[in-house]
Chains A and B, each alone.
Chain A
Amino acid sequence: MLDILIFFCIIFPVIAGGVAFLDKGNSLQKRLLRVSGIVLVIASVLLAFYAPATLSSSSGLAPAMKTPIIVLDFALLALIFYIGFRRRHNLIMMLAAAQFAGMLILEWVMLPGAQVAPAAGEAAKAAAVVPPAFVLDSLAATMVLIVSVIGSLIAWYAIGYMKEHEEHLQLGNSAQPRFFAVILLFLGAMNGLALADDLTWVYFFWEVTTLCSFLLIGHDDTAEANKNAERALWMNMAGGLAFVVALLYLQQAVGTLSITFIAEKMRGAEGLRPTLLLIPMVALCFAGFTKSAQAPFQSWLTGAMVAPTPVSALLHSSTMVKAGVYLVLRLAPLYAASYVSTLVAICGAFTFIAMAALAAGQSNGKKILAYSTISNLGLIIACAGINTAASLAAGMMLLIFHAVSKALLFLCVGSIEQKIGSRDIEDMRGLFSVMPRTALLTTFGIITMMLPPFGMLLAKWMALESAVEASAMPILVAMLALGSGLTVLFWARWAGIMLGSANARLSVGSETMDTFMGPVLRALAWGAAIFSFFAPIIYIWLVEPAVHGMVFTAAGAENPLAYVPGSGGLANSYGVFAVYPIYLLLGLGFWYAWRETKKHGEPGLTLPYLSGLQTSQDDKVGFIGPMKGFVEAKSGNYYLSTFFGEDRISKTVNTVAIALLVMLLGGVLQ
């Protein structure tokens, strides 16, 4: 059964993608996407109920996948090399070639040698310890759920979006088959990445997502899109190279590439010194940083915003960039209680604050979302670096709730952009009177990102409380506090200006929404609301089991519980996270406020105060200007460009981030 479910999660989408690619007439596509989305959702939910489970590499699905993955891995690297060659991009060629060489050494020199050794020694024992191919723990299950459910929703949304998108671009030849093929391929690869236990497999899926990202960023084939796609490719390939280095080192030093085995050896009494692992761990964290676009690699993600919006939602906020933090979280026990952990926390916290500052200086809606995504990923990495049970739990909660809220926000911006032709938040002033439902959904999405009682805030709250136990605590806490202040700044002003409307009543006007796009937006909004309410249940079901296995403890010691359910939510020695009462009371308060406002009916409609010169025309407020003409009153947000302008602080941010990375790498080589 597990075999079948994993097949449906990983290989089925790839096959569906292949069919979508061959179907040039677009006739099958919608049905195919709908069906594969449903299949993915069902498979991932069932899989989540199966957790924890492992699938041995010696039976079932795994042996059949082994050879194709090795072959495809080399084919993939060759393809990327070819892309570099075609685009005359030396860096991409070099990185691809280096990885090709590294993998060649691993597969042909090191692995065969390693397999011979134990067989010659103790055959029986070696047979008993076949490494698992797929490990379905709660962390992996969470990731698969996020990828499959949110990924499918975004893919459905994309059906409506891409139709409009192509009509807008007036393309002769539809590029949709390729687009949806890559999307489906990506979903399969992401699930593979989450489930695989062998690091070579993780590496393969990792590189597949890099390629998908490259293809989708460059989808519109403009000069800017291609340039940004190349940048994304080389930065991710740099991470890939670090990944290969880690593989080689691990194989040499530990003799296995299975994450489970490495962790077991580390915990066991085999005398594996933790410091031995630090070099590959730093390399893998580096790979994770590039994938998650942590400073100084943030430019590829902000550049990736040229892609169609569903791509930004799927790859560049909800799932693919999560692969990086997923890896860092997954490896957390392997570098716990070392200075690497401290530095990882500081790197994450630095990205959190720096990207929040950059977001505060932006008026481009998608860029705000991109920077805030990186910022939140930084917070997750900081949580991984703090490396206590509570902080890892906070990190996982962030992973889940961020995916839902951010997907909603990206897709809302996509809908808004198609309607008003701009993604600048200044152009979204008074959006409520143009697209009432989308404006409300966007505002709701923003509120779920920053205010209680919603999950993102709950997770941030957990993160802040867990930071008390961190090792470099004062500096870390200062960064986290300032970062969360900045977060409120850029979210609140966006939410506020959208609501502007001359309509005095609290009635949501009608708005025609696309048959695919509308329901997806509503589903995500409901998801954000409902999951937030059931956050303690999500914690017990998915987060606690995962964290329990992840926490670093001395051999034999009892793993501490991060939070104990109860007191109306979750609690630990530091605080009580009374989710239900807060949710109910704030919800009740909001309902009462809404009802009272409705009761007011039409409050004596007046115009805003404009020094006694106010007048209105066509629902717009303004002055009577020269020649008795109407001049609309306009105002803009403070973007604090003297503090947070992109051109002003990017250089400083990158310098500090590089310095932190050098500290991370340099310390380990000492």
Chain B
Amino acid sequence: MIVKLFFGIVGLAIAPFLGGLISGLDRRITARMQSRFGPPVLQPFYDVLKLLGKTPSAVNAWLILCSYFALMSSAFAVFLFFYQADLLLIFFVMTVGAVFQVMGALSVNSPFSQTGAQRELLQMLAYEPLLIIVFIGIALKTGSFSIESVYAQESPLLYSMPLLFIALGVALTIKLRKSPFDISASHHGHQEIVRGVLTEYTGPQLAMLEIAHWLDVVLILGLCSLFWATSWVGMLILIVITYFVEMLIDNITARLTWKWMLERVLLPSMVLCILNLLWLYALK
């Protein structure tokens, strides 16, 4: 209990730095893929520090409330992950942050913010079922929803649930709003609906959501690492490969529409999930 608490707190303390670093590396490697030099690796930290120093000017108080609460629930989710808590609990706490972010965006009468929020809801609709099924698959395999039981496994989960890992990768891309699923809030430099769900969050609020996003990155990569929980090296290699593939896909694809996402990505992924579940179910 105390050890787990310690892990949780240490994990939570490290996660923002780790997330920011990953984000910086991401930008750097992305630039290299586009034969640019790219920003310093610490650039995300500069951005967030700058945003924190800006004069707050929100359209209404809900934006401030929602950004604080979104950050806090993301932090709570990361804490729960390192605390090795129940997978579904982590998922639901993560949802709180996402829902509040959307609610804040919806409370402003700006077409960009509204459209972004609606699309973000559709993205949630796309990744939530996949994550739930992945977690249920893990529980079916390990006999429990707690992360502890994953670490107790003797062979990597990836062996028995490769299709679920692919589904998790899809969910990861959608959750992190990487191309082709940067539907609700585009990256820097892409301005289809300005910045979608993030349009109305300014200065410190945007900084908080940015930190929340880093925490989400850490959380999701942590979830990926569960698929090779038997050795630290395997875990690291799996995360690095997964994230590299994410970056590659991010750079070689163009944005899709939400219809495409629901019809051609969510449904096939669900089929993959069901197939893998059937297999696990048959083995059991």
Contact = CB atoms under 8 A, between A and B. Distances in A.
A496 B106 contact: yes
B76 A504 contact: no
B208 to A, nearest CB: 10
Contacts of A576: 85-86, 89, 146
Contact of A603 (B58, B88, B122, B281): B58
B33 interface: no
B262 A643 contact: yes
Interface in B121-159: 121-122, 124-126, 128-130, 132-133, 136, 139-140, 143-146
A604 B57 contact: yes
B191 to A, nearest CB: 11
Contact of A484 (B59, B132, B146): B132
A469 to B, nearest CB: 9
A635 B115 contact: yes
Contact of A609 (B60, B95, B121, B200): B200
Interface in A65-87: none
A609 B59 CA distance: 9
Contacts of B144: 573-575
B85 A506 contact: no
A478 B129 contact: yes
A468 B113 CA distance: 39
Nearest to B70: A593
Interface stretch (A36-44, A104-112, A405-413, A485-493): A485-493
Given A585-B76, A593-B68, A635 B109 contact: yes
Interface in B106-120: 106-115, 117-119
Interface stretch (A88-96, A366-374, A459-467): A459-467
A600 B99 CA distance: 23
Given A488-B95, A643-B262, A478 B273 contact: yes
Interface in B229-276: 259, 262, 270, 273-274
A576 B130 CA distance: 22
Contact of B56 (A495, A501, A600): A600
B13 interface: no
A481 interface: yes
B147 to A, nearest CB: 11
B118 A500 contact: no
A504 B58 CA distance: 7
B194 interface: yes
A477 to B, nearest CB: 5
B107 A504 contact: no
Contacts of B133: 477-478, 481
A575 B89 contact: yes
A492 B103 contact: yes
A482 B143 CA distance: 22
Nearest to A461: B88
A485 B277 contact: no
Contact of B132 (A481, A499, A610): A481
B25 interface: no
Of B58, B194, B270, B273, most A-chain CB atoms within 10 Å: B58
A566 interface: no
Most buried by B among A489, A575, A642: A575
B259 A642 contact: yes
A377 B87 CA distance: 25
Interface in A594-633: 594, 596-597, 600, 603-610, 621, 633
A482 B129 CA distance: 5
A594 to B, nearest CB: 6
A46 B198 CA distance: 53
A603 B60 CA distance: 8
A242 interface: no
B49 interface: no
B136 A468 contact: yes
Interface string A631-669: 001010110101100000000000000000000000000
Contact of B124 (A477, A485, A495): A485
B105 to A, nearest CB: 7
Contacts of A485: 124-126, 128-129, 132
Given A473-B281, A497-B106, A505 B92 contact: no
Q: Determine chain A's interface SS by DSSP, over half rule.
A: helix
A586 B96 contact: yes
A620 to B, nearest CB: 8
Contacts of B99: 450-451, 488, 492, 495
Nearest to A457: B92
A589 B73 contact: yes
B200 A608 contact: yes
A500 B109 contact: yes
Contacts of A596: 64, 68
A482 B110 contact: no
Nearest to A501: B60
Contacts of A606: 57-59
A370 to B, nearest CB: 21
Contacts of B42: none
A622 to B, nearest CB: 9
A590 interface: yes
Nearest to B284: A473
B199 A609 contact: yes
Contact of B68 (A468, A597, A635): A597
B72 A600 contact: no
B165 interface: no
B60 A502 contact: yes
Max count, chain A CB within 10 A of own CB: residue among B105, B114, B143: B114
A432 B145 CA distance: 40
A137 to B, nearest CB: 30
B10 interface: no
B3 interface: no
A4 interface: no
B69 A593 contact: yes
B283 interface: no
Interface in A558-583: 573-578, 582
Contact of A574 (B117, B124, B145, B259): B145
Contacts of B109: 429-430, 500, 608, 621, 633, 635
A556 interface: no
Interface string A503-545: 1111000000000000000000000000000000000000000
Contacts of B278: 474
Contacts of B68: 592-593, 596-597
A484 B129 contact: yes
Contact of A593 (B65, B121, B124, B199): B65
B106 A500 contact: yes
A474 B121 contact: no
A488 B128 CA distance: 9
A223 to B, nearest CB: 36
A594 B89 contact: no
A477 B61 contact: no
A253 interface: no
Given A465-B88, A502-B60, A589 B65 contact: no
Contact of B129 (A430, A481, A502, A605): A481
A452 interface: yes
Contact of A638 (B72, B122, B128, B136): B122
A382 to B, nearest CB: 14
A475 interface: yes
Contact of A600 (B61, B108, B140): B61
A506 B110 CA distance: 20
A164 to B, nearest CB: 29
Contacts of A478: 129, 133, 270, 273-274, 277
Given A504-B59, A574-B145, A610-B110, 11 more contacts: A451-B99, A465-B88, A473-B277, A482-B270, A484-B132, A489-B122, A501-B62, A504-B58, A575-B89, A600-B56, A610-B111
Closest 5 CB pairs of A and B: A496-B106, A608-B110, A593-B68, A604-B57, A474-B277
15 contacts: A451-B99, A475-B274, A485-B124, A492-B121, A493-B106, A500-B60, A504-B58, A573-B144, A582-B89, A589-B76, A590-B72, A603-B61, A606-B58, A609-B200, A635-B114
